[in-house]
């Protein structure tokens, strides 16, 4: 298979197959949990504003309560760095925006290239720190399994392969030129597709499960009038 053929495979069948697994796997996981069912709570509620409580639960936990802000702990802030960094890289880089536009028709202005590169660097270092902390912190080492390390790898891979695939700069507002060497871009796309394939089955599914978890706890605590 030539490099161009590999790129076409990555842009075509591999992309659609991985997206199909991403969507079907995520739906399966959520449906599999929903089917477990629940029983109505018969205790007299202190508050019946459960939807508002669920929403508060979702948004309030984005920042910890002041008592739990571990200001001196690198891991605490590091989590924010790579989450924000990944979001900026995915949604702020012009070729990614073109990619999404091709699939959905939706586009938006990109970030200036130097800003993007700063985020790439920060996110890369941040993910390395996350791994080192997971390996060295006794609590996280105890909690960690194959899922944690493999998930870390499938997040890092698109970043690493993307850094290799950046072979030329681009002018804002214009489509990047076709790649001189299709192989790095093909590998980058395949690494993203690996992430799509894995996301529904491992801990990366927290990307959507976090809303359910925070929501049910937010509603339950609101029902009691307890602190969120």
Partner 1 sequence: MTERARSVLEAAKAPDAGRAVREFVAQAGRDAAFQLEACVHCGQCADACHFHRVTGDPRFTPVYKLRPMLKAYQREAAPFAQVKEALGLAPPEVTAAELHEWSELLYDSCNQCGRCTLACPVGIDIAGLVRLAREGMAAGGFAPSDLVKAAERSLDTGSPIGVRWPALKRQIELQEQETGLHVPVDAEGAEYMVVLSSIEIMAFPEAIGALARIFRQAGATWTIPSAGFEATNVGVQMGSRDVAAELLSRIVEAAERLKVKCVISPECGHAYSALRWEGPNLLGRRYGFEVVQIAELLDRFVREGRLRLRGKDARRLTFHDPCQLVRRGGITEAPGRLMHGVSANLVEMPGSGAASFCCGGGGGVSAIHRAEALRFAAFESKKQQIDATGAEALVTACGNCRNVLEEAIEHYGMTLPVLGLTELVAQYLEPEAGAR
Report the C-alpha gap between 166 and 32 in whole angstroms.
Answer: 40
* Minimum CB distance to partner 1 smaller for 38 or for 168: 38
226 torsion bin: left (phi>0), alpha (psi -120 to 50), beta (else) = beta
* Minimum CB distance to partner 1 smaller for 3 or for 144: 144
Site of tokens 């912190």: 137
Residues 142-181 interacting with partner 1 (rule: CB under 8 A): 142-145, 148
Report the C-alpha gap between 184 and 95 in whole angstroms.
Answer: 14
Residue whose C-alpha is closest to residue 183's, from 164, 159, 160, 158 = 164
Identify the residue among 13, 107, 172, 225 touching partner 1 (CB under 8 A).
225
Identify the residue among 13, 20, 23, 41 touching partner 1 (CB under 8 A).
41
Structure tokens, 2 = 């030539």
Nearest distance, CB of residue 160 and partner 1, angstroms: 21
Question: Cβ of 74: how many Cβ atoms within 10 Å?
Answer: 14
The stretch near partner 1 (CB under 8 A) out of 10-18, 116-124, 134-142, 156-164 is: 134-142
Report the C-alpha gap between 65 and 221 in whole angstroms.
Answer: 15
Identify the residue among 4, 5, 20, 34 touching partner 1 (CB under 8 A).
34
Size of the site for partner 1 (CB under 8 A): 57
Nearest distance, CB of residue 186 and partner 1, angstroms: 28
Confirm or reject binding of residue 43 to partner 1 (CB under 8 A): yes
The sign of the torsion formed by the CA atoms of 218, 221, 225, 228 equals negative
Structure tokens, 140 = 């996280």
Say if CB 143 and CB 135 are below 8 A apart.
no
Confirm or reject binding of residue 132 to partner 1 (CB under 8 A): no
Identify the residue among 1, 32, 108, 173 touching partner 1 (CB under 8 A).
32
Residues that bind partner 1 (CB under 8 A): 28-29, 31-34, 36-39, 41-44, 46, 57-58, 61, 64-65, 67-68, 70, 73, 75-76, 79, 137-145, 148, 201, 203, 205-206, 209-210, 212-218, 220-221, 224-228
């Amino acid at each position: 298979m030539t490099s161009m053929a590999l790129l076409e495979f990555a842009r075509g069948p591999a992309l659609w197959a991985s997206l199909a697994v991403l969507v079907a796997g995520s739906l399966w996981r959520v449906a599999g949990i929903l089917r477990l069912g629940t029983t109505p709570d018969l205790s007299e509620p202190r508050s019946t504003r459960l939807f508002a409580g669920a929403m508060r639960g979702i948004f309030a936990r984005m920042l910890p309560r002041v008592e739990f802000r571990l200001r001196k702990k690198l891991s605490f802030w590091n989590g924010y760095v790579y989450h924000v960094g990944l979001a900026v890289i995915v949604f702020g880089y012009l070729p990614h925006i073109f990619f999404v536009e091709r699939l959905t028709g939706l586009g938006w202005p990109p970030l200036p290239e130097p800003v993007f590169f700063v985020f790439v660097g920060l996110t890369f270092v941040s993910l390395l720190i996350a791994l080192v902390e997971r390996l060295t912190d006794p609590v996280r080492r105890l909690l960690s399994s194959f899922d944690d390390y493999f998930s870390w790898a499938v997040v890092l891979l698109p970043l690493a392969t993307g850094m290799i695939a950046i072979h030329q700069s681009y002018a804002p507002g214009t489509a990047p030129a076709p790649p001189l060497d299709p192989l790095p871009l093909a590998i980058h796309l395949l690494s993203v597709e690996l992430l799509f394939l894995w996301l529904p089955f491992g801990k990366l599914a927290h990307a959507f499960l976090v809303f359910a978890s925070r929501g049910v706890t937010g509603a339950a605590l609101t029902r009691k009038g307890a602190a969120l």
